[in-house]
Amino acid sequence: MRIIFASRKSSLARRQTEWVMAAIRAGHPGLKTGVLALSTRGDELLDRSLAVLGGKGLFIKTLEEALADGRARLAVNSLKDMPTQLEPGFRLAAVPVRADPRDSLVSHYPGGLLGLPAGARIGSASLRRRAQVLALRPDCRVDVLRGGVGTRLERFDAGEFDAILLAAAGLERLGIARGEPIDPDQLLPAPGQGALALEARADDAEVLALAATIEDPLTRDAIRAERSCCRVLGAGCTSPVAAYATVTAGRIRLRALVAREDGRRVIRAERYGGRAMGAELGAAVAGELLERGAAELLNLHAGTA
């Protein structure tokens, strides 16, 4: 059997896809794999924020088209880029073991976010990161920085920014020994950050079974809670929303927040629940956030996006 995997063209996306292919081949020695590398609209339009362009779904649509027309049978995505509701006909086939979910700060100064000088210019493409950084350091400036990891690091090295924020997992997967991971108590990660998602057609039973062989149940339980929270909030992938779940001794701890983009207001909630109750736990945390005024902040964001 030969399986074609759809992937974005970036170095990180290709590295992630290669990792997934190797993991599946390890359990199926006779399997042959290939990569269909695609350029998505989200990769091509780098001069505007994703919130303005319509969200991270721009990274997914092109890969889904390749699944739909048979050019590929599995797509490898970063889970944080995937909408909480997939398009009809597609399924989240597997979630492998999660890498480091934290954000990482690449900086010209020691001491993390608190060590940056007053008025420091920070580069980030994420409204979630922007809101939390400004809540902690309202004196700093956060400017849009998009593109691949290499492009962002080049702009940092050229002196455009005092610091930039990247996903720790991306740096790790690329073998780039730069950056200082930030404690989630200071900067709460995005839903699904650090995790990969294998997407397939819902009717492709053969490929669904193949993908399931690298499923990690603990990661699936954690991201189910995170994504359920965002789904109930009605928050998109680019909203200033964070949700992070950990699974310990059969229990899930879910922390989440909704913020104003300028960081002037941050609403937080946290709950614990059993592993089998991830969806319910996510809904409960979302309900608590909404009771505290999250809808107002989300509506404010929607009105300015």
Report yes or no: 64 and 72 within 8 Å, Cβ to Cβ.
no
Q: Which candidate in 43, 47, 69, 81 is catalytic? A: 81
Report yes or no: 194 and 101 within 8 Å, Cβ to Cβ.
yes
Q: How far apart are CA 305 and CA 238, in angstroms?
A: 9
Q: How far apart are CA 77 and CA 56, in angstroms?
A: 11
Nearest to 42 by CA among 96, 71, 80, 15: 80
Determine the residue type at 235: A
Phi, psi of 75, deg, nearest 5: -120, 140
Paired with 247 in beta bridges are: 252
| 20: alpha, beta or left? (left if phi > 0; alpha if psi -120 to 50) | alpha
Structure tokens at 149: 């990891």
Nearest to 114 by CA among 168, 183, 56, 53: 183
DSSP 288: H
Paired with 21 in beta bridges are: none
* Catalytic residue list contains 143: no
Q: How far apart are CA 150 and CA 6, in angstroms?
A: 21
List residues with catalytic annotation.
81
